[in-house]
Structure 1
């Protein structure tokens, strides 16, 4: 059974308790008649604002359709009261009709953008208003229809708009609606809606279908709005089309923003605002829209989260107590545990892939991958950036987006590729993500619990145990924004383990973690091996990866290139070549005299992102006129180092020293072109950013265009999206040249390019170096860097492992050793001596 804590029950009781108090005051005559009417109307609007408020706050949907749902309830009540319908029939009809239309709108709009949903709900309201005006035998048209009395079919009495009974009923319904929302807040319903809103892809990985959650949220919200319409008919005593205009839709959104979206107190504030705003405007002698506009602008400027969140923050500041965290045993670093021996060859085969391919349009990201995993076995997938590793995991998880998957995948004897992504969680597949895609609006505990459709005491106990095992029990009530990077990773793992999957898929779990956190993760993987869970894991931290893996599959350019045990796989020439690149012939480099000055210097540079160390203790001098290669596996810190050299990222510690007149330019990984702009416009944007215009711009544009190959010069008016990958890379370099830099930094110049295009890109970079430009190449391929650079620096886990000149015959061996484990042979020998 579902669990309701005492604190949640206490919050839920507040609504009915406040309603009962208000009803007693109304009964005692504490309000004059006209104010009693306003109190009843405020209660009606509280329920209506609550319906919009929770839809926006929990499901992330802003609706313009709620005046129509509001009208449905009102007309059901008025029409039913004049045709002998019972109270129960009116309520069921209003709720059912509103929920059905709401589910339709939510399901139809879930696949599209917020603008589409707004237009869809706007059209629905416009059609509904037209129907109200034309269906005169039901609605009375512009004349409206009176509200008479409703008799209960269960003998519960008669509802009438006469006297103060209607106000009592409206206040009571508002109290009950607030209680229902308060009880739903800690439940699976809200958690799954919020998860689907905040991160649809991660939600699918835990079995939550965003489309279904959108339809459900809209249905529930429309039902609340219809109930509010029924109470409106009782309070007002007459129903006409006037209150249900588009102006009401706008006022509802304003009331939600003012009160605070997603909050219960915000609904009360919004209901009061809608009720008394006309009176306040009249008392100060201004038109109501003007007053509403001023109030809304003031709220947006000074209370951007709304009144209720502001009051909540003030209360927390007054009641805040500081606590000191003591590490739990699970957080303390330990020795990396020994992996469980590989399962026997006769062990049950859980997963088998036969010639699986994934294509995105004309791009083949994965090609003819075959592999198998047995129960209790850990299979590591390795390969350089762009090898297709994450695409393979996405194919297993059903998260390939617009990609087309071909081939065969059998999981537990059934076809995996035919099942939906949300169903794969239910059949026993758990998944983590490279960047720990947590749900920011849910607490740590709720991030784990949201995987359940219903939450029981057993589920809460299991979630608490999981958080304890990953060292997060002490932050269970915090939100992900309050966690460090490593804690995010651990939360992502706990969520993947919440339903004890048979197959656990881990996407770069070791990346960015410190030694203690990596040991903690390794212990979790070993525990899964002990209980017979199959694990498929990719990572670039090979030492930690190989410590827990039984077998390793290597990919390159989407194809398998090797398979074997962890201690042997890197001896495969094809695998080493995929990481290190082919040696090739060393090209002719610009001559350097021995006394060249420094173009840039880094001294003791360190950098961290939210507690994750990306660079540590980097001392580096870039000689003027040289080509320097910064080499390392994905996650080694190359891009961070490049941004610091460029000056666009200040280091956490240390300093960057350059000549005051030095101009630098950075070509980022992935090129970051403006795809919808033409080649010429991409170059012009870079010139404008550098303050170049007029005649100088035209001259610079002509000069840079001459650097481009003829096939690009002839297509200067073509959008950049129409270029091949290699042509886009050349354009990205040309865009950087518009600023006439002295130092050019190129991040992953060969990423995703064919060998012929790699040669052309490197030839053009070499020509720039011959013309006197200083060039820094951030590369994964040691072989490519060795053929094109004066000096190569190997990064490993944020530090310089080795540096030297590729012309040194011994350097390649030392660099290869450092590339994989961070130490070259000389360092190892010195440590042993």
Structure 2
């Protein structure tokens, strides 16, 4: 497979060929001198727009600094021409200075959001233009500086300014610049820029530093802008401050949006727009800023992708090309995967963690984490939601973010915690993500290739072989958004395997896959075991997880609580309790009046997100006045079911019916409070959303405040971010109560809380049940739900595995089996009555 294909060479040759043809036309005199000058100017602006266009399209950076780089090149040329510099020295000096300044801006701006990058580049342009205006000995100030002839040190002759020769040079340079950009499109440089732009965290996991990519992109872009400035000086013959205003920065962005960011033809369209817009505005009797503003508004409203992408889509619709049949997917064999024995005690230790802790402010996400992994060993990490599993994987891959990490970690004899995230890939650590964080603007093949610094023929061959191995060769030229969920997850795995890692870190790889896809994934993990790869894997699909694991470590509240073999780990009482919770004595529940009508009923409900099945065949009735617990492991479908019960998420299939006068409220997982607003303001926002205002709002606020504990009533003016986790959970419930719901749905009310706060939150929810409110609790803990609910429904992989009343002495044993296995051995327990 060649590094640069014949089609890429053909596309790259179009720019120089078009430039040569245009030069011949100019030389023939077919174009009048004034229009020939405009053509030369359009070539200059094409190079300038190209510099901004590719920076925005490939690196995702919108710059207002480019008028300064443009001016830098122009003044370099004018000053050099009056001081005997050669053309080569002028070009070298201008581009080197621009590259250095661009790299500085790119590196500094990488730490900020897009808004702050715009402000940074705006400040740079203002300072640069002011310096150029004041440095009169070099720039001539407001009077400008004339451009004289430039001789070539390489014997290419003398370059005259403001003549046909300058126009030819500008057109030829524009053609070459377009060819260079076309050749860069299939390169690893472009792939890594796009990867860093699309998903910085995933990019770091494969060794791409977004800061370095931003600096590189800005430096290259600045070089093109400075080169355009040199061409401007040659074409115009005089350099003054007038063309380099902030208005040019806005016009450049308008030209990029109009032509199409990231497209080469878009740069040509943008260059023509900048050249002839003043003439069109003058002919129409409209001020140029008004015309440019109108064009930008129209482009944003009706052509958000730009003129070139719009015309391309239209041409594809009108002139459909016959497609060659795609090769059939090559699936790995579905024969039973051979068991790979665990490495013996003499196998070398690859990874060791000792007393690792991670804190985010006052929150301890991980503490006292100690474990080891031997070469060729697969270690499964299990635990309920919030146990610290993903934080542990982030420690291994260096993606903890703002967390503070303590303790020690040794990988292959090296101190892992002191190694940058981007360097860990080179150490041999590959990582997948829970939600398959691929790069949407890169093809499947490019998603794998971008792990390499060069897209050489050898690297392309290896990437193609890897895609063949994981069953993705038939979609190599497609984009991730075009793939079903299962193939999307395979692509995430292929990218992690791209450099044959010694340690493979897998974050919920089985989540959302059907049985066939899980079998295929199991075989791929076993294949890595056979290669001697160590694997650390977390997942909530325990049967598939245990099928590939040699050893299991259980976590809860950020601490390891048990360790053992897959077949025995769930026999540990502490591990079972972490999932199921402590049963304890049942709290006093209000009696249910079974004659009351149904609040919500679901009939045959399925729901899918893209290719992921979250719910399947759910039939559920929630009677008024009941407290219903929906229990299941992380990923079982609880949150999706809660949103469907609430009515904010329509099911993919099936029907939801509710009582006509039913008012429902949902407290989402994670609380979703407005952290910068006070306790009172959070409650008021909920009231406004429910249409409550004036005296009614004040009365409702007083009523809801009475439900709050005294310590919250006394802190109504404190921002929500200043509350403890338990106080925030109580506030989230209180906010939902502002609408006086008949049905309250609370998602994971105990998540991240201490046992004492869990008891308080549940006690306050219990008071609501005694007041006659219908409550649905979405819980991971079977024990907590059993002690607080009339009826418990156990979800497993999106389906109802068992349901029943905790008062039934046989129910809890059936529910425990269903929680882990999805089915119980006894007849299904059903609600009485």
Which TM-score bucket, shorter chain as reference?
A: over 0.9
Once the two structures are superposed, the pairs formed by residues 249-288 of structure 1 within 5 Å of their partners are 249-288=249-288
Q: How many residues align?
A: 828
1:596 corresponds to which residue?
A: 596
Once the two structures are superposed, the pairs formed by residues 469-508 of structure 1 within 5 Å of their partners are 469-508=469-508
2:368 corresponds to which residue?
A: 368
For 2:178 and 2:790, the matched residues in 1 are separated by 71
Cα 1:827/1:96, change in 2 over 3 Å = farther
Q: Is the 8 A contact 2:679 2:718 kept in 1?
A: yes
1:304 corresponds to which residue?
A: 304
SS in 1 for 2:793: strand
Q: Is the 8 A contact 1:790 1:806 kept in 2?
A: yes
- How big is the shift at 1:396? 0.4
1:96 corresponds to which residue?
A: 96
- How big is the shift at 1:163? 3.1
Q: CA RMSD in A?
A: 1.4
2:384 corresponds to which residue?
A: 384
- How big is the shift at 1:101? 0.6
SS in 1 for 2:823: coil
| CA offsets 1:26-72 (integer angstroms, 9 cap, x no match) | 01111000000000000000000000111111111111111111111
- How big is the shift at 1:406? 1.0
| CA offsets 1:480-520 (integer angstroms, 9 cap, x no match) | 12122222211110100011111000000000011121111
Q: Is the 8 A contact 1:79 1:145 kept in 2?
A: yes
Q: Is the 8 A contact 2:803 2:828 kept in 1?
A: no
For 1:134 and 1:694, the matched residues in 2 are separated by 60
1:409 corresponds to which residue?
A: 409
2:715 corresponds to which residue?
A: 715
1:669 corresponds to which residue?
A: 669
SS in 1 for 2:635: coil
1:106 corresponds to which residue?
A: 106
1:232 corresponds to which residue?
A: 232
Once the two structures are superposed, the pairs formed by residues 286-685 of structure 1 within 5 Å of their partners are 286-317=286-317, 318-321=319-322, 327-330=328-331, 334-685=334-685
1:209 corresponds to which residue?
A: 209
- How big is the shift at 1:685? 1.0
For 2:131 and 2:442, the matched residues in 1 are separated by 41
SS in 2 for 1:561: strand
Q: Is the 8 A contact 2:41 2:275 kept in 1?
A: yes
Q: Is the 8 A contact 1:616 1:799 kept in 2?
A: yes
- How big is the shift at 1:790? 0.8
- How big is the shift at 1:745? 0.7
For 2:2 and 2:422, the matched residues in 1 are separated by 23
For 2:325 and 2:667, the matched residues in 1 are separated by 45
| CA offsets 1:357-385 (integer angstroms, 9 cap, x no match) | 11111111111111111111100000000
- How big is the shift at 1:315? 2.4
SS in 2 for 1:584: coil
- How big is the shift at 1:134? 1.4
For 1:620 and 1:320, the matched residues in 2 are separated by 50
Q: Is the 8 A contact 2:15 2:176 kept in 1?
A: yes
For 1:204 and 1:300, the matched residues in 2 are separated by 32
- How big is the shift at 1:323? 6.5
- How big is the shift at 1:695? 1.7
Once the two structures are superposed, the pairs formed by residues 820-831 of structure 1 within 5 Å of their partners are 820-826=820-826
Q: Is the 8 A contact 1:2 1:455 kept in 2?
A: no
Cα 1:814/1:94, change in 2 over 3 Å = same
- How big is the shift at 1:668? 0.6
For 2:466 and 2:9, the matched residues in 1 are separated by 26
- How big is the shift at 1:478? 1.5
- How big is the shift at 1:524? 1.0
SS in 2 for 1:825: coil
- How big is the shift at 1:335? 4.8
| CA offsets 1:531-578 (integer angstroms, 9 cap, x no match) | 100000000000100000000000000100001110010000000000
- How big is the shift at 1:321? 4.0
| CA offsets 1:208-243 (integer angstroms, 9 cap, x no match) | 000000100000000000110111111001111111
1:189 corresponds to which residue?
A: 189
- How big is the shift at 1:142? 1.3
For 2:326 and 2:772, the matched residues in 1 are separated by 56
- How big is the shift at 1:595? 2.9
Cα 1:592/1:828, change in 2 over 3 Å = closer
| CA offsets 1:662-707 (integer angstroms, 9 cap, x no match) | 1111111111111111111111111111111122111111111111
Once the two structures are superposed, the pairs formed by residues 755-794 of structure 1 within 5 Å of their partners are 755-794=755-794
Q: Which runs of structure 1 show a deviation greater than 6 angstroms over 4 or more consecutive aligned residues?
A: none
For 2:827 and 2:266, the matched residues in 1 are separated by 64
For 2:812 and 2:328, the matched residues in 1 are separated by 44
The range that moved more, 62-71 or 313-322, is 313-322
For 1:327 and 1:407, the matched residues in 2 are separated by 50
Q: Is the 8 A contact 1:335 1:519 kept in 2?
A: no
1:41 corresponds to which residue?
A: 41
Cα 1:745/1:151, change in 2 over 3 Å = same
SS in 1 for 2:353: strand
Q: Is the 8 A contact 1:2 1:454 kept in 2?
A: no
- TM-score normalized by the length of structure 2: 0.98
For 1:128 and 1:733, the matched residues in 2 are separated by 54
For 2:6 and 2:782, the matched residues in 1 are separated by 61
Q: Is the 8 A contact 2:144 2:240 kept in 1?
A: yes
For 1:436 and 1:175, the matched residues in 2 are separated by 40
Cα 1:412/1:31, change in 2 over 3 Å = same
- In the alignment, structure 2 segments of 5+ residues that lack a partner are none
For 2:169 and 2:385, the matched residues in 1 are separated by 64
Q: Is the 8 A contact 2:330 2:472 kept in 1?
A: no
The range that moved more, 781-790 or 321-330, is 321-330
For 1:134 and 1:297, the matched residues in 2 are separated by 36
The range that moved more, 222-231 or 128-137, is 128-137
Q: Is the 8 A contact 1:62 1:118 kept in 2?
A: yes
Cα 1:474/1:638, change in 2 over 3 Å = same
1:56 corresponds to which residue?
A: 56
2:241 corresponds to which residue?
A: 241
For 1:99 and 1:613, the matched residues in 2 are separated by 50
- In the alignment, structure 1 segments of 5+ residues that lack a partner are none
Q: Is the 8 A contact 1:687 1:693 kept in 2?
A: yes
For 2:718 and 2:216, the matched residues in 1 are separated by 45
- How big is the shift at 1:596? 3.3
- TM-score normalized by the length of structure 1: 0.98
